[in-house]
Amino acid sequence: MISYNEQERIFKLDTANTTYMIGIVDEENFVGHIYYGKKLKEADAAYLMRIDEPPFVPSLNNRERCSFYDCFPFEYPTAGVGDYREGCIGIRTAAGHVGCMLTYVSHEIMEGKPALSGLPATFGDAKECMTLKLVCEDHYVGLRVELLYTVFHEIDAITRSVKVTNIGADHIYLTKVYSACIDMDNRNFDMISLHGSWARERHIQRKAIGYGIQNVSSFRGESSHQDHPFLALVDKNTTQEHGEIYAMNFVYSGNFRAQAEVTQFDSVRMTMGIHPENFCWKLSSKESFQAPEVVMVYTDQGFDAMTTTFHKLYKNHLIRGEYKNKKRPILINNWEATYFEFDTEKLLSIAKEASKLGIEMLVMDDGWFGKRNSDNCALGDWKVNEEKIKGGLKYLVDEVNKLGMKFGIWFEPEMISPDSDLYREHPDWAIAIPGRPGTQARQQLVLDLSRQEVVDCIYEQVASVLRSANIEYVKWDMNRQLTDIGSSGLPADRQGEVYHRYMLAVYQMQERLTQEFPYLLLENCSGGGARFDPGMLYYSPQIWCSDDTDAIERLEIQEGTALIYPLSTMGAHVSDCPNHALKRVTPFETRGIVALAGTFGYELDVTRIPQEDREMIPSQVELYHKYNDLVREGDYYRLASYSQNRQFDCWQVVSEDKTQALVTFVQVLNRVNFKSRRILLKGLDENKQYQVEFVNENSIKTKIYHADTLMNGGLLIPYPQGDFQARLIFLTEVN
């Protein structure tokens, strides 16, 4: 619900449990942030902007205008005329000046939500959401900025984006454009971010914020392993179940910055948007720039509530396509099974064995094209290597299909190897600074996707492979970050557009792919989980979570990922031991149980693993079929965190109608002479009783308990024997 109080000049944006309020003040129409938080009955809380205190508004005290600019809680702050905190927008006029101040011009309130041209974004119809468009201008520089706010009422989320238009006669350079800002009082907040590295993605980090600027960011050309386009400011006392959270998540897969600036007056400016590093977009007269979307979530009910909101929003209003609400085929991927050493015969031997065990799809990973026998060549040459794939791709796919399995394939479309036919033919197609040798990573360079002819050529190569056989899944990989930013297709004053044009092209290619092959299951991937973000989720319902498939390392990675993203999106596989990344040995059963929390599949040579592991696969497959609807669609709750307690991990999913629940418990290191663990369950219907079944613990009989006992008294999980032990506990309502 969005309303405008014309007399007081206040916009009130309400969701089921939150209110967001914006006010227009003074004769000059400054746009200020009044409030974001728990739902308010009050329609006029303008006093919260403190304009009745010194330095007052400019019409009353123009001699101290600068002080007003430097403390007013701007809804979309600018720079260069007196607000010394970091602004959301940076411009440079044709004459070289940077000052800017945006004031209110008009607004529109509409039902539903407009799409953002060329960008991934959440969507919803008139019944689900409502949008406010606030139009602001700076007529000195000829700039119009449209601030878009969409309220997802039931879901309790608000999304924001920004469109900038040059309404002047001369060109303007846009040097910064963030997508969201909340200017509020600091309440001694902690900040939550997701930090990582290759094979250690999205570990939850919590720390106090202090005066000055603290931020998380990426200017690696992708959302990255290292930092994540997510930031939450939370009360010191916020826990899983209680406390305030202001969270922002960026629906974008490229460079970003998320920041909290605590000021001299103890206010905090929380911002998120495209990283300004090497960003400079030339806007000729009448041209516009659409900045990506930020999702904002507020709750006073702790992390569980925040997570539920993000999960609901993404499941219903971001993820699209055939597999949105569908169980995904259990796949077996040959990467960790064979690396580059495979041929038709080897793949078919894996498929034959896998099909007998109930696995439903074979995915052929890196190494099937050009002269690609190692990771040092051939990216860009998307032609089947028939020396390896003897009989051709169609033959292989048909043979796999005959086994009753689907077939999937790997691509890395954004890359070019210096040792490739493509590079030999088009050396100028790599992103590069003329005259400077490009910095290689994994011996590859990045294609200059800011050039449409490059996009078209690569898209056609990929699509013609997909058209040549019955391919039902694509893993879209990206194995290096961007450096040496330069495009031979753009003039000097547009080189600062390359990063964003690159992202727009990736989105364009994935949109084309999903339009032409609507039945395709697309899984994004980036050297593991470096591009696991809402932008990519708009195109692919699942993303490879990490190259680290060790069941214990995965606990932290999956916990951090599930803090925002639904379990249905987390690519998770059972792999062989010793684990290839870590050399740790964990029980096959535990590897299976941890992978069941995600999309579930295998990444091993099923013809060579120990017989007792192989024999366990049919029962894991059965568990997947039995529980995946619940895992995919249910509400997720964190019951205990290994990342915090360093002993054990525990999470739960509960079906929407609360008739079923699944608890997963993982004991990491065993402790001698210890008692069972008491775990308090969540989300059950407290008036009901549930039958509790220890799925993989034969000696324990099923028992019936009242939900309130399970949630307040808890469930005792018998002390597992040995390290790295996992338990699955299934609950069904009995009355």
Nearer to ligand DGJ, 379 or 504 (CB): 379
CB of 480 to ligand DGJ, least distance (A): 10
Please report, for residues 65, 203, 356, 417, the alpha-carbon distance to residue 297 in angstroms, rounded to integers and kept in the order given. 33, 20, 46, 42
Least distance CB 330 / ligand DGJ (angstroms)? 17
Burial label for 24, CB within 10 Å (0-12, 13-18, 19+), is: buried
Q: Which stretch binds ligand DGJ (CB under 6 A): 96-104, 216-224, 275-283, 523-531?
A: 523-531
The reply to whether omega before 437 is within 30° of 0 (cis) is no
Question: Residue 530 Cβ, how far from ligand DGJ at the closest point, in Å?
Answer: 9
Structure tokens at 185: 């009082």
Among positions 370-399, residues that touch ligand DGJ (CB under 6 A) are 375
Q: Which is nearer to ligand DGJ, 74 or 410 (CB)?
A: 410
How far apart (Å, rounded) are the C-alpha atoms in residues 678 and 710?
Answer: 10
Instruction: State which of residues 120, 527, 535, 592 lies at the interface with ligand DGJ (CB under 6 A).
Output: 527
How many other CB atoms sit within 10 Å of the CB of residue 365?
Answer: 21
Binding mask 330-369 for ligand DGJ (x = CB under 6 A): -----x-----------------------------xx---
Measured in degrees and rounded to the nearest 5, phi and psi for residue 60 equal -100, -25
In angstroms, rounded to a whole number, what is the distance separating the alpha carbons of residues 324 and 520? 12
Residue 209 CB, nearest approach to ligand DGJ (Å): 34
Residue of 14, 547, 548, 635 marked catalytic: 547
Instruction: Tell me the C-alpha distance between 599 and 529, whole Å.
Output: 14
Our CB check for ligand DGJ shows the closer of 547 and 635 to be: 547
> 553-562 and 588-595 helices cross at what angle (nearest 10)?
10
Between 546 and 568, name the residue whose CB sits nearer to ligand DGJ. Answer: 546
In this chain, which of 142, 528, 560, 598 binds ligand DGJ, going by CB under 6 A?
A: 528
Cβ-based nearer residue to ligand DGJ, 417 or 514: 417
- Position 477 contacts ligand DGJ (CB under 6 A): yes
CA dihedral over 289, 180, 128, 505, signed as positive or negative: positive
Q: From the CB of 476, what's the least distance to ligand DGJ, in Å?
A: 10
**Span 555-614, contacts to ligand DGJ by CB under 6 A:** none
| Number of residues this chain uses to bind ligand DGJ (CB under 6 A) | 12
- CB 244 to ligand DGJ: min, Å: 37
Among 525, 604, 616, 623, binds ligand DGJ (CB under 6 A): 525
Site for ligand DGJ in 533-552 (CB under 6 A): 544, 547
Q: How far is the CB of 375 from ligand DGJ (least distance, A)?
A: 6
Closest residue to ligand DGJ: CB criterion:
366
- Assigned token pair, 77: 């702050």
* Angstrom distance (rounded) from CA 717 to CA 720: 8
Rounded CA separation 495/510 (Å): 24
Q: Closest separation between CB of residue 15 and ligand DGJ, Å?
A: 37
**Which residue's CB is nearer to ligand DGJ, number 302 or number 413?**
413
Q: Toward ligand DGJ, which CB reaches closer, 186 or 558? A: 558
CB of 387 to ligand DGJ, least distance (A): 19
Q: What residues from 260 to 289 belong to the interface with ligand DGJ (CB under 6 A)?
A: none
Indicate if 547 belongs to the active site. yes
Instruction: State whether residue 46 is helix, strand or coil.
Output: helix
Least distance to ligand DGJ, CB of residue 381, Å: 15
Using the contact rule CB under 6 A, the part of the chain among 134-142, 299-307, 449-457, 522-530 near ligand DGJ is 522-530
Whether the upstream peptide bond of residue 55 has omega within 30° of 0, thus cis, is yes
Q: Please count the helices (runs of H) and the strands (runs of E) in the chain.
A: 14, 38
Which residues, 6 or more positions from 320, have their beta carbon under 8 angstroms from its beta carbon? 514, 538, 539, 541
Cα–Cα nearest to 247, from 159, 315, 131: 159
Element (H, E) at 654: strand 648-654
231 vs 462, beta carbon nearer ligand DGJ = 462
Q: How many CA atoms lie within 13 A of 706 on its CB side?
A: 6
Instruction: Out of 83, 366, 477, 605, pick the active-site residue.
Output: 477
CA pair distance 138, 115, nearest whole angstrom: 25
Nearer to ligand DGJ, 325 or 443 (CB): 443
Distance from C-alpha of 476 to C-alpha of 411, rounded to nearest angstrom:
5
CB 120, min distance to ligand DGJ, A: 21
Q: Which is nearer to ligand DGJ, 137 or 548 (CB)?
A: 548
C-beta of 304 vs 365, nearer to ligand DGJ? 365
Q: At what angle do helices 392-402 and 344-357 cross, to 10 degrees?
A: 20
**Site stretch for ligand DGJ (CB under 6 A), options 156-164, 306-314, 524-532, 559-567:** 524-532
- Per CB under 6 A, contacts with ligand DGJ among 635-674 are none
Q: Find the part of the chain contacting ligand DGJ (CB under 6 A) among 14-22, 168-176, 389-397, 525-533.
A: 525-533
Asked if 421 is an active-site residue, the reply is no
Q: How far is the CB of 510 from ligand DGJ (least distance, A)?
A: 17
Which stretches of 150-194 are DSSP H helices?
Answer: none
CA–CA–CA angle 173, 178, 181 (5° rounding): 140
The stretch near ligand DGJ (CB under 6 A) out of 267-275, 520-528, 579-587, 604-612 is: 520-528
Closest listed residue to residue 298, CA positions, set 150, 161, 123, 158: 158
Closest to 256 (Cα-Cα) out of 298, 220, 288? 220
Give which of 225, 224, 190, 193 is closest to 208, Cα–Cα.
190
Q: Which is nearer to ligand DGJ, 378 or 666 (CB)?
A: 378
With contacts defined by CB under 6 A, name the span among 237-245, 521-529, 555-563, 710-718 that binds ligand DGJ.
Answer: 521-529
Q: How far apart are CA 65 and CA 67, in angstroms?
A: 5
Q: Which residues contact 594 (CB under 8 A, 6 or more apart)?
A: 551, 554, 555, 558, 572, 664, 666, 726
- Given a contact cutoff of 8 angstroms between Cβ atoms, the answer to whether 639 and 650 are in contact is yes
Residues numbered 402 to 461 that lie near ligand DGJ (CB under 6 A) are: 410
Among 271, 479, 487, 558, interactor with ligand DGJ by CB under 6 A? 479
Residues that bind ligand DGJ (CB under 6 A): 335, 365-366, 375, 410, 477, 479, 525, 527-528, 544, 547
Q: Which residues are catalytic?
A: 477, 547
